[in-house]
Amino acid sequence: MSYVTYPKSFQCPQIKPYSLGVDMGLVRTPMQGGNNRQRRQYRHMPHIFRLEFVMEALDLGTWQQWINSFAYDYFILGLESMWSGNAGTITSPHIVRFISDLEVENVVYGWVRVRVQAELSPNQYALAGPGILTDAWIIGGTPAAPSADTIIAGTPAAPSMPEWISAGSPQNPAAIL
């Protein structure tokens, strides 16, 4: 799937008060004896960004027209998070969409501040590079008995979660992508 990219001519989100909340999806059950039981609700942790853009008031009209047309569907925006850290850069492309109203305030004459929240797409892993190592192996087969084009780890009634499987190599074993 292709996504629209946030224009480079527009203002980037401000460094401060940029913030990010990650829903770890923990469900904890107290036990009468021993440690609490704990499990995760989902594989892909929802990320909510609180963004702030500062721009000249004259640029607000063009910026907001683009936002109204594209930002409430998923688009690509350079942000900081665990995904950029994994990529080895300060910022990296993130697939996000805005999920709140725009709050616009006057900073000084001729300049405005716009605050908005954005959520990370569950498809962000597609841009993330290396996957989560599983230490599993997939046997490729031989010309007489090739491997299947489709791999379902599980049963037909309850297939596994991954959409793609990378077979890997001895140095880099299979990964969930």
Hey, where are the domains in the chain?
A: 4-122, 130-177
Fold classification of 4-122 is Elongation Factor Tu (Ef-tu); domain 3 (2.40.30)
Instruction: Report pLDDT digits (tens) over 13-24.
Output: 987 777 777 777
By the 10 Å C-beta count (0-12 exposed, 13-18 middle, 19+ buried), 42 is classed as exposed
Its pTM stands at: 0.63
- pLDDT band at 140, cuts 50/70/90? low
* DSSP E strand boundaries for 33-169: 37-40, 47-56, 75-79, 92-98, 103-108, 111-120, 132-133, 165-168
Secondary structure of residue 32 in the 3-state scheme: coil
Instruction: Report pLDDT digits (tens) over 19-57.
Output: 777 777 778 888 888 888 888 777 777 889 999 999 999
**Helix (H), strand (E) at residue 82:** helix 82-87
Distance CA 20, CA 83 (A): 12
- Cα angle: 149, vertex 158, 119; to 5 degrees: 90
Over residues 134-157, mean pLDDT: 56
